[in-house]
């Protein structure tokens, strides 16, 4: 008879557990990935498109994207950036926090086991138990035991919580990847600016030398009565105007170097940027760009917005689950005695075991208000996702058309430079044959250097837009940001 009584509670609890598990559901909407934007191109009809671009179903350059620029100095700088940059350090720490929050949500679905031990001196008030005429004794009370509880999660609120946490972790991982792409893009752009500014300063210095050469020729001609003083004044004015451009270029170069040092994670006084030059960059003749449908599935800011939508969809289920009953299985066991020696005897044991049912009855509409708030937040995230996609497509379209116009400008500047080279050769030949003036040669050299300055500027614009295109269309490959898909 005693053994039957001992098995009865276990059988009852098993029956409750079986019925509860069979009745488990997961309330709330299941997440559905938004359909990819149906667009076959990035640009408007009639927009200029560079011939150097190739649309492919899935563009993944071998290695980090900046390797396509062909700069060994940039590769070295990037290695230090990825090691010491504080923006990436913060992104990595934030991702670690999101991972910990996911594990915390997963732990809520596990049984909770706690241990308790106490040693207290207490006075027992016997009158509370209806005992009169006896003094209330003061005794030592020793206790050791534990408790176990497990939430059956009948409506799936905890499961939705884990789903939301995993999606939030994925979103943070994608944000870390977006920060990685933004950072490496900024580093590459600063390197290109340094290269362009150094070449522009060199070209402007050559122009100043040409200005001075013309002034010297005019001064000599004026000394022998071959030209008016007005020509010399005009030459000096031109030299002053050209020299006035130098301080702004040098300041821009200093700012670019300082900005690159900060991106590397070093004070400007303790780090020196490499002497980047355009000759050190060899971008590919053809740049692969993913199709619009592929960009939606690989660009990290879009994927982060999608993961946010997933998390907010799951949170609708978390709020909805509060409308349903819930069962928590609990078990408590304790050994209690007046002396330590008798603490672990059979007579000191006590236990309890059974399910605990809770169900909402009245809460003033708070739960349904939370559901409506969660649903509204999901709509906010959907709108944000769609806007993120549109912004990304607009950014790619801007860079593509800019590259097309860069190509046109670079081609025009190259033609001007070629013509200036031809004019210089003609002037030099005429001078060598005795049929031309030295001033004509100096003026032709000046025009060639001015053409080179314009070509350097257009070359820099194009290389900056190439960097922006890679940063805008590449899939991130920062291994520290890798997270499992929710």
Q: Is residue 356 part of a domain?
A: no
Query: Over the stretch 72-105, which tens digit does the pLDDT of each residue have?
Result: 999 999 999 999 999 999 999 999 999 999 999 9
Structure confidence at residue 239 (pLDDT): 87
Buried b (16+ CB within 10 A) or exposed e, 147-167: eeebbbbbbbbbbbbbbbbbb
pLDDT at residue 11 greater than cutoff 50: no
Higher pLDDT, 261 or 484: 261
Residue 182, classified by CB atoms within 10 Å of its CB into exposed (0-12), middle (13-18) or buried (19+), is: middle
Average confidence score pLDDT of the chain: 87
| DSSP codes, 222-290 | HHTTSS-HHHHHHHHHHHHHHHHTHHHHHHHHHHHHHHHHHHHTS-GGG-------GGG----SSEEEE
Q: What's the domain count of the chain?
A: 1
CATH code, 52? 1.20.1600.10
Q: Is residue 206 part of a domain?
A: yes
Helix (H) or strand (E) holding 415: helix 366-432
- 243-271 average pLDDT score: 95
Q: Is 353 helix (H, G, I), strand (E, B) or coil?
A: strand
Pairing of strands 138-151, 112-123: antiparallel
Residue 161 near residue 106, CB atoms below 8 Å: no
Query: Sorting pLDDT into bands at 50, 70 and 90, what band is 16?
Result: very low
Residues spanned by the domain of 211: 31-109+154-322+366-481
Structure confidence at residue 37 (pLDDT): 78
Q: Is residue 270 part of a domain?
A: yes
Task: Name the percent of the chain in helix, strand, coil, to the closest 5.
Answer: 65, 10, 25
Q: Is residue 8 part of a domain?
A: no
Distances (CA, A) of 284 to 65, 183, 381, 470: 12, 22, 38, 12
pLDDT at residue 13 greater than cutoff 60: no
Query: Over the stretch 41-64, which tens digit does the pLDDT of each residue have?
Result: 888 888 888 888 888 877 666 678
Q: Is residue 1 part of a domain?
A: no
Eight-state DSSP code of residue 33: P
pLDDT at residue 15 greater than cutoff 60: no
Query: Sorting pLDDT into bands at 50, 70 and 90, what band is 123?
Result: confident
Q: Is residue 137 part of a domain?
A: no
Strand partners, 24: none
**pTM of the predicted protein model:** 0.84
Structure confidence at residue 313 (pLDDT): 97
41: alpha, beta or left? (left if phi > 0; alpha if psi -120 to 50): beta
Buried b (16+ CB within 10 A) or exposed e, 358-386: eeeeeeeeebeebbeebbebbeebbeebe
Q: Is residue 221 part of a domain?
A: yes
Q: Is residue 354 part of a domain?
A: no
Buried b (16+ CB within 10 A) or exposed e, 309-333: bbbbbbbbbbbbbbbeebbebebbe
* Least trusted range by pLDDT, from 18-27, 182-191, 348-357: 18-27
Q: How many residues does the chain have?
A: 486
Structure confidence at residue 146 (pLDDT): 94
Angle between helices 72-84 and 86-107 (to 10 degrees): 50
C-alpha count within 13 angstroms, C-beta hemisphere, residue 479:
3
pLDDT at residue 484 greater than cutoff 50: yes
Distance CA 326, CA 152 (A): 7
- 416-423 average pLDDT score: 93
């Amino acid at each position: 008879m005693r053994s039957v009584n001992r098995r009865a509670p276990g059988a009852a609890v098993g029956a409750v557990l079986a019925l509860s598990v069979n009745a488990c559901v997961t309330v709330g909407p299941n997440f559905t990935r938004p359909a990819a934007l149906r667009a076959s191109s990035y640009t408007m009809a009639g927009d200029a498109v560079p011939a150097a671009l190739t649309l492919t179903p899935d563009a993944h350059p071998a290695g980090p994207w900046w390797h396509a620029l062909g700069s060994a100095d940039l590769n070295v700088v990037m290695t230090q950036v990825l090691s010491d940059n504080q923006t990436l350090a913060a992104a990595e720490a934030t991702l670690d926090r999101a991972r910990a929050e996911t594990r915390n949500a997963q732990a809520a679905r596990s049984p909770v086991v706690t241990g308790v031990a106490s040693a207290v001196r207490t006075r027992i008030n016997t009158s509370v138990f209806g005992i009169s005429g006896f003094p209330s004794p003061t005794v030592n009370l020793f206790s050791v035991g534990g408790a176990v509880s497990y939430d059956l999660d009948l409506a799936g609120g905890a499961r939705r919580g884990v789903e939301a946490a995993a999606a939030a972790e994925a979103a943070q991982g994608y944000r870390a990847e977006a920060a990685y792409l933004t950072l490496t893009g900024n580093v590459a752009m600063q390197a290109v600016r340094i290269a362009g500014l150094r070449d522009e300063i060199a070209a402007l210095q050559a122009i100043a030398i040409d200005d001075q050469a013309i002034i010297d020729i005019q001064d000599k001609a004026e000394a022998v009565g071959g030209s008016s003083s007005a020509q010399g004044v005009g030459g000096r004015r031109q030299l002053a105007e050209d020299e006035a451009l130098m301080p702004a270029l040098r300041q821009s170069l200093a700012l670019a170097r300082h900005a690159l040092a900060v991106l590397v994670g070093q004070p400007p006084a303790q780090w020196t940027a490499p002497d980047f030059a355009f000759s050190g960059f060899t971008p590919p003749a053809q740049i692969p760009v993913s199709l619009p449908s592929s960009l939606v599935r690989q660009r990290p800011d879009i994927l982060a917005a999608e993961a946010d939508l997933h998390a907010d969809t799951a949170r609708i289920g978390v709020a909805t689950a509060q409308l349903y009953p819930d069962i928590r299985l609990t078990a408590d066991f304790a050994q209690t005695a007046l002396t330590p020696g008798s603490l672990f005897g059979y007579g000191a044991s006590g236990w309890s075991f059974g399910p605990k049912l809770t169900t909402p009855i009245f809460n003033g509409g708070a739960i349904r208000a939370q559901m409506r708030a969660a649903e509204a937040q999901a709509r906010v995230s959907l709108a944000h996702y769609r806007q993120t996609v549109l912004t990304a497509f607009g950014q790619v379209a801007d860079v593509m058309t800019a590259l097309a116009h860069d190509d046109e400008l670079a081609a025009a500047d190259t033609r001007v430079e070629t013509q200036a080279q031809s004019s210089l050769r003609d002037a030099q030949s005429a001078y060598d044959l005795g049929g031309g003036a030295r001033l004509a040669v100096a003026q032709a050299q000046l025009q060639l250097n001015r053409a080179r300055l314009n070509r350097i500027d257009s070359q820099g614009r194009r290389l900056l837009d190439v960097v922006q295109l890679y940063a805008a269309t590449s899939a991130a490959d920062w291994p520290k940001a890798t997270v499992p898909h929710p």
